[in-house]
Structures are given as structure tokens and as C-alpha cells.
Amino acid sequence: MTALPLVFDAPRRGKPPRHLADLSREEARAAVVELGQPAFRADQLARHWFRGVTDTARMTDVPAAVRETLAEALLPDLLTPVRTLSADGGRTRKTLWRLHDGALVESVLMRYPDRATVCISSQAGCGMACPFCATGQNGLTRNLSAAEIIGQAVAAAAAMADGEVPGGPGRLSNVVFMGMGEPLANYPRVRQTLRALLAPAPWGLGLSQRSVTVSTVGLVPAIRKLTEEGLAVTLAVSLHAPDDELRDTLVPINTRWKVGEVVEAADAYAARTGRRYSVEYALIRDVNDQPERADLLGRLLAGKRAHVNLIPLNPTPGSPWDASPLPAQREFVARLRAAGVPTTVRDTRGQDIDGACGQLAAADRVEGVPTVAVPAPSLEPPVELGAEADG
């Protein structure tokens, strides 16, 4: 596919140090050999790291004399927890992470009776500038490295395995890319992350394809690229409006790729993978929650392999954007269902933060802490999709 220029900026401040999880298995084995160790040490390091073990004293299968050297070279600390906040009796845990250059990102672990889901960030900030989104107001700081993204999932898996979440030791079952950032704007690192999430131990978390959800605001060339990857992870498209006139204002990237193109790309993904895609729609009072827009959305998606997930907006303090009232929500759902479109409404407890990109920062409201402030981006020239130099 021809590399298409994207319209957002990808500042390159603070490239993180090299980490095992940024490398392929072959590259990691070569790196270990360069350090004078047998290649299988890379597998040993991977086994520890993907289990959340960072204390070299616990890496007892690696000779004590070389543990520090190997860890310094390949397992640098990338994510430092700044604080962890809990809701829902401890079953929802949000962690604020500081990256090596001071950038801040969040991830949220949510334990349900039948599953445990972590919502992870793929960028520090976001360059998509959706006006209703707290993250979007501060711009993009930088892309995260693959290891920084994977590390959020590894930390969640370790927290579950160690029994840190009420309910006893358990297993992380789902990962959703619905934290800070537009995942497909950080394509190479997100692709590397997907490989690691799906790979069996020691080089991954062994999750199933359907348990991993990649969301996008509609970067059509990147959706097409994902379609060609041969993966079958769940695709979630954050539509938020069924018509271009409104979506141009709610989701500015729509001025580049229109509703019809986004849905067409999602349809092609569904056709290739056999998987239904999810349409995320933040219901905003008097903005996109009118009955006629429900009908329009219904006509747009009728007969497609699509499922609509309505998310009553999490308003941020001082924002003019508000959630739709319940009667409007019910009317919207009824009209979509009448059009034959499977529709659900995200529940409104802490867990609703896994429902849409950019809602993570806004979700602070649920737990009563301020929205994370991400530094404004420095500006660099637009990058090209597929270029590996933007991280």
C-alpha cells in the first residue's frame, strides 16, 4: 500500500531506551549474544518480563553475575507508577504512569465476574483534537514505544495473577486500546504490541484475538493496513456522528476521511476477518443524540456486521459537553434496534471508561481526581503512515 501522509504531528521528544519488548525474538537473541551470553537467555528474560517480574533477584535461572548487565541492557524500567486509584470496591484500578521523559499516561484494569480487562494508552496525549474529549484538548506529546504499551498490559496481568484485585488471583483476559491516543496513529508500535499480546509465553501474554480490541477514530489507510495483517482482533470505530456535517466538527479527522469511507473500511475488515466490528458512539446531549440521527445511523449500519456501543459522555468539569439524558438514550437505542442494528449502552459505573477512546482522562470524574494534564506537543512535520521513524 502506498504510504499516505497523515495530518497529525508526531513529536519525537524522549525516545525511550531500547527494551526487549521492542524487539523481535530474533533481534533479542542477537542482542543477548552481543552481550556475550547464549541466545536462550533472551527467552529467559522474556519469560520473566511478561510475567511482570522486574526484580533481578527473582530471575534465578539467569546467572547472578550477568543479571544486572542483561537487565540494564534489555529490561530498563519504562513505566513508573505515580498513583493508583480504585473504584467499584477495588475492582476498577486506574494507574497513572510516568514515562522516562516525564510524560504521563494512564491505564485502567477492570475486573468483572467473567473477565478482567485492561484499557491501555498508545500515545501520550492525542493529536486528533476531538472537542468533547479531555485528552484531545492537550494535543499529542509523543507516541509510546511498543514496550511502553505492552508494559501496561503486563502490569495488569501481573496484578491479576498476584491477587491484587479483589476476587483472588486471576487472569487478564481482555485488552482494549481505548486509553489515551489514537492507536492507529502509532501503527508500527501497536502492531508490535498486538503480536506480543497474542503470542504465547515466553514472548507474549497468550490472549485470544477476540479478546483484544483496537479502536480508531477512523484513519482509513491504517484500517486497511490492519485488514492486511491477517489478524482477527476486534475493531472498534469511534464514529460519534452518522453524518459528515456533524462529524467534521466532533471528530476533526473526518474532514480527511468521511463517514462513508470509514464504514467501508470497517466493512472490509469485517469481511476479511469474519468478525463484527463495534461502532462507538458517545451520546452527547443535544449534539448527536437526536432521533433523526439515530435513524440515520440505523440506515448507515443496517445489514452490516456492526454492533453499536453507545456511551453516555463522561463530562469533564467546566466542559459544555454533557451526557444525553436517559429518555434520549432510550429513544436512540430503540430506533437503532428497530433498524435491526444490535445496540448496547455502556453501563455508568467506573467501567464505562473502557467504552471510548479519550474517555480515560474524563473518567477521573468517576473517581474524583483531576484530569491528567499532558504537556502541549511540540510541532514537527507530519509523518507518513508506515514510516518507522515516528517513534
Q: Residue 232: which residues within 8 A CB-CB, separation 6 or more?
A: 209, 210, 273, 274, 275
Per residue in 335-374, is it b (16+ CB within 10 Å) or e — as a string?
bbeebebebebbeeebbbbbbbbbbbbbbbbbbeeebbeb
Q: Residue 243: which residues within 8 A CB-CB, separation 6 or more?
A: 259, 293, 296
How near is the Cβ of 36 to ligand SF4 at its closest, in Å? 44
Q: What is the DSSP string of 151-162?
A: HHHHHHHHHHHT
Q: Is 215 annotated as a binding residue?
A: yes
d(CA 219, CA 198): 23
Within positions 322 to 361, which residues make up the interface with ligand SF4, using CB under 6 A?
357-358
Identity of the residue, 135 or 278, whose beta carbon is nearer to ligand SF4 in the bound complex: 135
Within positions 18 to 77, which residues make up the interface with ligand SF4, using CB under 6 A?
none
**Region near ligand SF4 per CB under 6 A, out of 29-37, 122-130, 299-307, 346-354:** 122-130
Q: Is 126 annotated as a binding residue?
A: yes
Work out which of 104, 130, 154, 214 binds ligand SF4, going by CB under 6 A: 130
* Cα-based distances in Å from 345 to 321, 336, 355, 385: 18, 12, 10, 33
Q: Is 85 annotated as a binding residue?
A: no
Whether the bond between 242 and the residue before it is cis, its omega within 30 degrees of 0, is no
Decide if 18 contacts 391 (C-beta within 8 A). no
The catalytic residue among 26, 72, 106, 261 is 106
Catalytic annotation present for 119: no
Identity of the residue, 120 or 198, whose beta carbon is nearer to ligand SF4 in the bound complex: 120
Work out which of 22, 182, 352, 390 binds ligand SF4, going by CB under 6 A: 182
Q: Is 240 annotated as a binding residue?
A: yes
List the grid coordinates of 156.
Answer: 495488569
Identity of the residue, 183 or 391, whose beta carbon is nearer to ligand SF4 in the bound complex: 183
Cα three-residue angle 93-150-29, rounded to 5 degrees: 145
The candidate with the shortest Cα–Cα distance to 343, out of 308, 313, 301, is 308
Amino acid, single-letter form, for residue 32: V
Work out which of 6, 87, 126, 226 binds ligand SF4, going by CB under 6 A: 126
Does residue 288 bind ligand SF4 (CB under 6 A)?
A: no
Identity of the residue, 16 or 136, whose beta carbon is nearer to ligand SF4 in the bound complex: 136
**Region near ligand SF4 per CB under 6 A, out of 13-21, 98-106, 123-131, 365-373:** 123-131
Within positions 205 to 224, which residues make up the interface with ligand SF4, using CB under 6 A?
217
* Cα-based distances in Å from 153 to 146, 148, 197, 308: 11, 9, 8, 26
Catalytic annotation present for 357: yes
Work out which of 128, 333, 366, 385 binds ligand SF4, going by CB under 6 A: 128
Binding-site sequence positions for [4Fe-4S] cluster:
126, 130, 133
Site residues, ligand SF4 (CB under 6 A): 126, 128-130, 133, 135-136, 181-182, 217, 357-358
Q: Which residues are catalytic?
A: 106, 357
